[in-house]
């Protein structure tokens, strides 16, 4: 119960601080003319500040610090120096600091993608001291237990891919924030259900400021703002780190046994950004282009081409994500490979239908 109360307080505190902090960031951005540039991949018009994501990490850190202090002051031990969760939180904060540095640099001055990859790699190394690398592939392609020589590099690649997936899905108002709220809300709920203070408060902290940002981003006029790379990279890293943290708890926590197939459930939870990025990368490479070649192949571009507004496209894609998540939860008694095959097949059919409708619309 205490964890629930602390997390509820952290959520309200984060909303309050975000509501005070974000408008001031926006006003500073306007004074310094820190606007998002318009290019072939952008779908917005006008001058919109692009540094809203700068608020995420400081508010998470402030929320975690204050509520950990309060917890200790009321006589509830929050951690010991040897506590696994304390070490894992330090690893998370280390990775977030690296991501924050490169994100701010990119939003303010622009950074080459090779440099961004290097910083993402250093952030992903946080899975080593936290021991969150994949020790088990949970039957994917028939593979179960693996050695660190395999698990560590595969986990680092997965972390970097998910970070970039959430970065690239941030193409229209509210989309990255909405998908992130869904993912963090579910994972944070699991942490709260199991009574884990640290990650419950962290999830509450990011959800609070993210909810405020979502409102400003999707419906703001005077205070309209984009999260920029700082925000999307931060969200991608938090989501994959918390997924790995939760995945590591399944063999040791009886409460979590209600989830029979955690890999399938998490795959459904992250399906839209991960599948869309993998699909776009594959198409670009097959056409002889760089995977980061600027074009309009992402799922949100297809919805805009069909005449959806940013808000309606965001809601449609969030509904799609919810459907895949619920489907994977309902199918989790099946083999994980069968579930992933169903996900990919339905995803391809879904994209084919959108492309077909777009083509007919152009002919008419």
pLDDT, one tens digit per residue, over 192-251 is 888 888 899 999 999 999 999 999 998 867 778 899 999 999 999 999 999 999 998 887
How long, in residues, is the chain?
A: 364
Q: Is residue 282 part of a domain?
A: no
Please name which of 203, 200, 235 lies closest in space to residue 217, comparing C-alpha atoms: 235
Copy the structure tokens of residue 17.
């601080």
The C-alpha atoms of residue 164 and residue 313 are separated, in whole angstroms, by 21
Contact, 64 vs 13, CB < 8 A? Answer: no
101-146 pLDDT, tens per residue?
Answer: 999 999 888 888 899 999 999 999 999 999 999 999 988 989 999 9
Contact, 124 vs 161, CB < 8 A? Answer: no
Domain count for the chain: 1
User: Please, which residues have CB within 8 angstroms of residue 168's CB and are 6 or more apart in sequence?
Assistant: 273, 276, 277, 280, 298
DSSP state of 329: H
Please name which of 173, 93, 84 lies closest in space to residue 132, comparing C-alpha atoms: 84
Q: Is residue 330 part of a domain?
A: no
Residue 41 has pLDDT above 60, yes or no: no
Residue pointed to by tokens 């926590």: 253
Q: Is residue 147 part of a domain?
A: yes
Residue pointed to by tokens 């088990």: 136
* pLDDT band of 260, cuts 50, 70, 90: confident
Q: Is residue 304 part of a domain?
A: no
Work out the number of other CB atoms within 10 angstroms of the CB of residue 67.
Answer: 24
pLDDT of residue 54: 93
Contact, 113 vs 107, CB < 8 A? Answer: no
Contact, 187 vs 325, CB < 8 A? Answer: no
Q: Is residue 329 part of a domain?
A: no
68-97 pLDDT, tens per residue?
Answer: 888 888 877 655 545 677 889 999 999 999
pLDDT of residue 172: 93
Q: Is residue 324 part of a domain?
A: no
Per the structure, the complete domain to which residue 60 belongs is given by 2-258
Weakest mean pLDDT among 33-47, 135-149, 169-183, 291-305 = 33-47
């Amino acid at each position: 119960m205490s964890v629930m109360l602390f997390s509820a307080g952290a959520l309200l505190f984060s909303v309050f601080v975000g509501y005070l902090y974000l408008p001031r960031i926006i006003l500073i951005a306007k004074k310094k003319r820190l606007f998002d540039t318009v290019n072939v991949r952008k779908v917005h018009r006008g001058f919109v500040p692009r540094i809203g994501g700068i608020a995420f990490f400081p508010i998470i850190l402030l929320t975690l610090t204050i509520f950990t202090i309060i917890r200790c002051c009321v006589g509830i031990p929050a951690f010991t120096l040897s506590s696994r969760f304390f070490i894992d939180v330090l690893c998370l904060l280390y990775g977030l600091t690296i991501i924050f540095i490169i994100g701010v640099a990119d939003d303010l001055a622009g950074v080459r993608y090779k440099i961004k990859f290097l910083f993402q790699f250093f952030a992903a190394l946080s899975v080593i001291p936290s021991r969150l690398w994949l020790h088990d592939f949970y039957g994917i392609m028939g593979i179960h237990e693996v050695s660190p020589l395999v698990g560590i590099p595969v986990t680092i690649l997965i972390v970097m891919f998910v970070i970039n997936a959430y970065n690239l899905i941030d193409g229209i108002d509210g989309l990255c924030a909405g998908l992130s709220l869904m993912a963090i809300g579910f994972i944070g709920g699991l942490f709260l259900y199991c009574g884990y203070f640290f990650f419950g408060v962290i999830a509450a902290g990011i959800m609070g400021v993210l909810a405020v940002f979502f409102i400003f981003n999707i419906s703001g006029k005077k205070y309209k703002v984009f999260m920029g790379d700082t925000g999307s990279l931060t969200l991608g890293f938090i989501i994959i780190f918390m997924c790995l943290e939760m995945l590591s708890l399944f063999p040791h926590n009886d409460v979590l046994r209600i989830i029979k197939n955690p890999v399938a459930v998490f795959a459904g939870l992250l399906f839209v950004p991960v599948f869309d990025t993998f699909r776009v990368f594959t198409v670009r490479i097959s056409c002889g282009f760089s995977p980061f070649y600027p074009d309009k192949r992402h799922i949100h571009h297809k919805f805009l081409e069909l005449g959806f507004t940013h808000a309606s496209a965001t809601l449609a894609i969030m509904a799609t994500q919810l459907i895949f998540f619920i489907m994977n939860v309902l199918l989790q008694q099946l083999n994980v490979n069968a579930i992933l095959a169903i996900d990919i097949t339905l995803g391809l059919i879904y994209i084919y239908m959108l492309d077909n409708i777009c083509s007919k619309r152009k002919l008419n």
